[in-house]
Structure 1
Amino acid sequence: MAARFHRVHGANVRLDRTRTRATRVESFAHGLCFSQEPLAPGEVFLVEIEEKELGWCGHLRVGLTALDPQHLEAVPEYSLPDLVNMGDTWVFAITRNHNRVVVDGEEARGPPREPFLCIERVRIPRDVLVGRSRPGRYSHILDELYRTNVLPATARRSRIGVLYTPQPDGTADMHIVINGEDMGPSARHLPTTRPLYAVVDVFASTKSVRVIPVDYGLPSLQTLCRLVIEKHIVHRLAIDGLDLPPPLKSFCKHE
């Protein structure tokens, strides 16, 4: 599993001791990060935007690269165009409309509601893929906006993932996932003869991101309890009034 950042990163990036949080400490560039390990087919590398910084134009960039970070002579200043120009790299600025390969005859889709995100043969619990607000008076309204994916794609606490799916011709398609919604193939015909690492560029107005671990198995009993409780409350502050153990309350509030 690749659920933390590589030791090799941009000059302005600082990682926490677990290497799951990356913060750009100055300027607006030199924010490149990579996954610690290559991704397995269908494995999503998921990050949550923790901090934003006013005064800069541009947002988070994500993608995949077949370049081994350990063998880079120097980490480029930018993912676009510097890292991409080095070859075997596919990176996109996170927007809702400009990172998708359009398929002829494809129809618009409504907001996703199924408990699992299915991308070809990949099946991922949607609960972990969707961003959530901090518990508060209006959290029930904000949480619905995350679930229906109508907030800006790079809003604070949005969750952005990248993965690849093998194709019959021996290549792979790259998919970007925003708050539990698959944006469709962002790039096609990626080679699978070399390992593919996730790329996260903590660029411009995005200041800090955190890696979110993803469990691909059946939901735990705690998760199932949380889903039931969420269906019967107006907002997460109501959880404090329930007769539940404090650790379960914190878990249900996503703290």
Structure 2
Amino acid sequence: MGNSSSTSPERESDRNDTPVLENAYDSHRRNIWRFHPSCHGNNISISSDRQTARRAESFCNAIVFSDRPFRIQEKIRLKFTQTTDGWSGVIRFGFTTQDPNSIQASSLPRYACPDLTNLPGYWAKALPERYAERNNILCYYVRRDGSVCYSVNNEDKGLFFAGVDTSSPLWGLVDVYGNSTEIRIIDGDQEEDPNDAGAMALDPSDIALGRLGLLDSNNALENLTLESEGTTDEVDDNYPNLHRLPDILSDVWGIPRDSLQEMQFSTTSGANVIFRENRTVAKRRGNEFCKGVTFTSRPLEVDETIFVQVIEVTPRYLGGLAFGVTSCDPQLLNAFIDLPDDSESLMDRPEYWVIYKDLSVPDEGDQLTFTINSEGELRHHVNGVDKGVLIHVDVSQRLWLVFDVYGSTQAIRILGTLSGREGNPWSSGLSSGQSSEISRSDPFFPPLPIPTAAELEDNTDSSSASVPTTHNLPPPPMVGTRTTGRSDCTICYDRPTDSAVYPCGHMCLCHKCGQLLKRQRGGMCPICRGAIRDIIKIFKA
């Protein structure tokens, strides 16, 4: 008895002196999680080991929860064991602060999104459908700043969504929806195939630091910054012609290198952007096609021209570089929360945004210029050829440029800017000795019959088949009567009138017919037969 009592305190002391790192790791290995046994949708069947959740019928009523809350940075891994082509949509996943033990299963709605996510304490989003294939492994976790990141088959996909309240315990939430019919929990120490993302188990040091709250968003941002800076040698290996800048400027634009002012990208950017060469090169991560929004580090002055070169493209994705302007200072944006997958969504923000996604898909090596002149025309050149006016913008505000390194465009470089203080040939049209396509600001054409919607479809040049993204420019000044008195488009008589002709201001077209009419040579306003310089979509409050 004496020996027993004398050794007991020593063992307790040994436990107290055990390194935190070892305790955290061992705890994680023992503390596996399973699906909650009773709190789930009525179309869900939970296996006896509670490691598999299967939707028995229909496409919904399949919400499931974890049986315990998760720590910050603790990874949830799920394998798609069964899928189907019989439905549309795929799995939704996220977190909740609501303890499933306090939720009545009969009260669960049909869908996690939007039924649960409209309630306080629930956060979830749909996985991109291309990733929801059989045997794929999804991994996701929440950071201390409330951002949720995910990966598929050990390929990091970056930020998924943000805004999760991490001040309370968080349970896992999954909606086995649509084409996803069965999922299985993958434990950290479970045997897997090499391609099944087995390397996603947390490193012991990550677990310990995460438990202690030392590995948070600041560390992640610091690591991202270190990765983004890179080395000159690495860039040179990828882009051997990067330092041929004087030749590029002389051969294509006919201007000396020292005439350009330096311009960098802003430090605010999409989650998949990596900066190189003192933030003059913006590259999108190789396995991604979106979240590539970048900004200039300062507003562009009136009549100032920015020179940009496309230095890498990929055939893996469709679409290409998008461009725009904004009155929003990028430094005021939260990159994790405010920057969406697609730059078009930025126009839903309250600031002034114009996004143009109808640029011709650039080739590697193409040199582009963008200039905003005093009349609000945003002019564009490609390899020295004038492409005319892209859009009209409000020059009464300070305007930062927006680039979306999207789709086939993998990396771009800012070559510099040319000030308009001493005259700038790019701000008013043709540069010396260079030809031009027909500008959208050409003078009036002779009167032509107003085409029907079908004729517009038939006659549209195939090279311009994609419809430009709408932009939320303020409506132009109205002079006299500017409406036709009808609510239907004057071309198709089918869709409602939602767009105004610039500069005359007549609101008489749907946006689709307006864009098609603008592309027609000699396209005119159906009301006054004035030249069409732009079509502006009107958003009613």
TM-score, shorter chain, exceeding 0.5: yes
- Counterpart of 1:189, as a letter, is G
Contact 1:2 1:38 in 2 (8 A): no
- Counterpart of 1:178, as a letter, is V
Q: In the aligned structure 1, how far is the partner of 2:51 from the partner of 2:144?
A: 27
Matches within 5 A, 1:153-192: 153-167=131-145, 172-192=146-166
Q: In the aligned structure 1, how far is the partner of 2:118 from the partner of 2:86?
A: 27
Q: For each residue in 1:137-185, what CA deviation from the matched residue of structure 2 results, as whole angstroms up to 9, or x when unmatched?
A: xxxxxxxxxxxxxxx3011000112211113xxxx21112222122222
Q: For each residue in 1:214-236, what CA deviation from the matched residue of structure 2 results, as whole angstroms up to 9, or x when unmatched?
A: 14357xxxxxxxxxxxxxxxxxx
1:76 aligns with 2:109: yes
Q: In the aligned structure 1, how far is the partner of 2:56 from the partner of 2:163?
A: 36
- Counterpart of 1:94, as a letter, is L
Query: Which residue does 1:40 correspond to in 2?
Result: 71
Contact 1:2 1:37 in 2 (8 A): no
State the secondary structure of the residue aligned to 2:125: strand
Query: Which residue does 1:198 correspond to in 2?
Result: 172
Matches within 5 A, 1:1-255: 1-7=31-37, 8-73=39-104, 74-95=107-128, 152-167=130-145, 172-215=146-189, 216-217=202-203
Contact 1:52 1:156 in 2 (8 A): yes
Q: In the aligned structure 2, how far is the partner of 1:39 from the partner of 1:191?
A: 13
Distance 1:51-1:184 versus aligned 2 partners, 3 A rule:
same
Q: In the aligned structure 1, how far is the partner of 2:85 from the partner of 2:93?
A: 20
Q: In the aligned structure 2, how far is the partner of 1:67 from the partner of 1:162?
A: 19
Identity in percent: 29
Contact 2:35 2:51 in 1 (8 A): yes
Structure 1 residue 2, shift from structure 2 partner = 4.9
Contact 2:40 2:64 in 1 (8 A): yes
- Counterpart of 1:5, as a letter, is F
State the secondary structure of the residue aligned to 1:162: strand
Contact 1:3 1:212 in 2 (8 A): no
Aligned length: 159
Structure 1 residue 53, shift from structure 2 partner = 2.1
Structure 1 residue 186, shift from structure 2 partner = 2.1
**Runs of 5+ consecutive residues of structure 2 not aligned to the other structure:** 1-30, 190-201, 205-541
Q: For each residue in 1:96-145, what CA deviation from the matched residue of structure 2 results, as whole angstroms up to 9, or x when unmatched?
A: 7xxxxxxxxxxxxxxxxxxxxxxxxxxxxxxxxxxxxxxxxxxxxxxxxx
* TM-score scaled by length of structure 2: 0.28
- Counterpart of 1:35, as a letter, is S
**Runs of 5+ consecutive residues of structure 1 not aligned to the other structure:** 97-151, 219-255
Q: In the aligned structure 2, how far is the partner of 1:217 from the partner of 1:44?
A: 11
* TM-score scaled by length of structure 1: 0.59
State the secondary structure of the residue aligned to 1:6: strand
State the secondary structure of the residue aligned to 2:169: coil
Contact 1:176 1:183 in 2 (8 A): yes
Q: In the aligned structure 2, how far is the partner of 1:57 from the partner of 1:189?
A: 27
- Counterpart of 2:160, as a letter, is S
State the secondary structure of the residue aligned to 1:80: helix
Q: For each residue in 1:183-238, what CA deviation from the matched residue of structure 2 results, as whole angstroms up to 9, or x when unmatched?
A: 222222322221111111111111100000014357xxxxxxxxxxxxxxxxxxxx
Contact 1:33 1:199 in 2 (8 A): yes
- Counterpart of 2:121, as a letter, is D
Contact 2:125 2:161 in 1 (8 A): no
Which structure has more RCO (C-alpha within 8 Å, separation ≥ 6)? Answer: 1
